[in-house]
Amino acid sequence: MKSGYINFYTTGLDACSPNKNWYERGLVDCLCPECKILFPRVGAIDVFIQEKRPKPSPITFVIGSVNIVHRDFLNILGADSVENDLMIGSVINGDGENLKDWASVRSKVMLHIRGTENIRNNGRCSTCYRPYVSATGKKYIYPDTNSPGTIFSTLFGALLVRADRIDGQLFKPKKGFGVAFVPVLDQPFDGLDFRIECWQGGGPSGIKSGWLD
Ligand SMILES: [Zn+2]
């Protein structure tokens, strides 16, 4: 099989809204003010949303680097991979209720889906200089990660699962939920000359290390 990932992603505008107090006070030291990506030292994070429940799609996001995933969907991905690869937090709704069937999810290694064009200048945030890719056109991964993991999160409500470790036929796109194969290519086509792979919490040294390129 061609090397690649199954991309599970949210479609449409169904992101959750962050609780204002949580966002303005609790996250003040945790994320870059420009790109809104959590700093690498931040591990699992409990997420406070304004809504009563997330929209029906099994995956959405609240801030660009924090996905919210339905636990039924996580279970299908495999308990071992979920435990090894992901940092899991709670989702608390606008009434202060802990939504037991939802989880906040960040992978220990974040990948970026690249395209034929990148609409964010040089692919880096101008404040924290970390990779911040917003790709258009044909999607791909370049280069592949050396991480032995199976599940990886990416920005804006997407999870990538190694295609050779999951039966993609089990998953059908539906309203608000997309499923697509994303190949690993042996060269990039977006003019970005760096290796895009971001170690988040629990990096290879066992501490929260910075991003690599
Ligand atoms: Zn930034």
Please give the distance, rounded to the nearest whole angstrom, from the Cα atom of residue 59 to the centre of ligand 1: 23
Under a CB-based contact definition with an 8 Å cutoff, are residues 175 and 91 in contact? Answer: no
Query: What pLDDT, on a 0 to 100 scale, did the predictor assign at position 56?
Result: 81
Please give the distance, rounded to the nearest whole angstrom, from the Cα atom of residue 123 to the centre of ligand 1: 11
Query: What pLDDT, on a 0 to 100 scale, did the predictor assign at position 4?
Result: 96
Please give the distance, rounded to the nearest whole angstrom, from the Cα atom of residue 111 to the centre of ligand 1: 16
Identify the residue with better confidence: 156 or 1. 156
Query: What pLDDT, on a 0 to 100 scale, did the predictor assign at position 210?
Result: 36
Please give the distance, rounded to the nearest whole angstrom, from the Cα atom of residue 31 to the centre of ligand 1: 8
Under a CB-based contact definition with an 8 Å cutoff, are residues 70 and 59 in contact? Answer: yes
Identify the residue with better confidence: 47 or 130. 47
Please give the radius of gyration of the chain, using alpha carbons only, rounded to the nearest integer: 16
Averaged pLDDT, 138-148: 89
Band (pLDDT 50/70/90 cuts) for residue 39 is confident
Note down the domain range covering 211: 1-213
Please give the distance, rounded to the nearest whole angstrom, from the Cα atom of residue 190 to the centre of ligand 1: 20
Q: State the first-to-last Cα distance of the chain, in angstroms, to the nearest integer.
A: 27
Mean pLDDT taken over the chain:
84
Query: What pLDDT, on a 0 to 100 scale, did the predictor assign at position 209?
Result: 33
Number of domains present in the structure of the chain: 1
Under a CB-based contact definition with an 8 Å cutoff, are residues 35 and 76 in contact? Answer: no
Query: What pLDDT, on a 0 to 100 scale, did the predictor assign at position 13?
Result: 66
Please give the distance, rounded to the nearest whole angstrom, from the Cα atom of residue 131 to the centre of ligand 1: 8
Residues 153-196 pLDDT 10s: 988 889 999 999 998 888 899 888 999 999 999 998 888 876 66
Q: Give the predicted TM-score (pTM) of the model.
A: 0.88
For 20, the enclosing helix (H) or strand (E) is: helix 20-21
Averaged pLDDT, 10-34: 85
Shortest CA distance to 45 belongs to which of 177, 196, 153, 178? 153
Query: What pLDDT, on a 0 to 100 scale, did the predictor assign at position 204?
Result: 39
Please give the distance, rounded to the nearest whole angstrom, from the Cα atom of residue 126 to the centre of ligand 1: 7
Least confident of 83-92, 128-137, 142-151, 156-165: 128-137
Look up residue 112 and give its two tokens: 């970026």
**Cα 113 to Cα 144: distance, rounded to the nearest angstrom:** 11
Identify the residue with better confidence: 209 or 111. 111
Query: What pLDDT, on a 0 to 100 scale, did the predictor assign at position 48?
Result: 93
Please give the distance, rounded to the nearest whole angstrom, from the Cα atom of residue 203 to the centre of ligand 1: 19
Query: What pLDDT, on a 0 to 100 scale, did the predictor assign at position 3?
Result: 93
Please give the distance, rounded to the nearest whole angstrom, from the Cα atom of residue 124 to the centre of ligand 1: 8
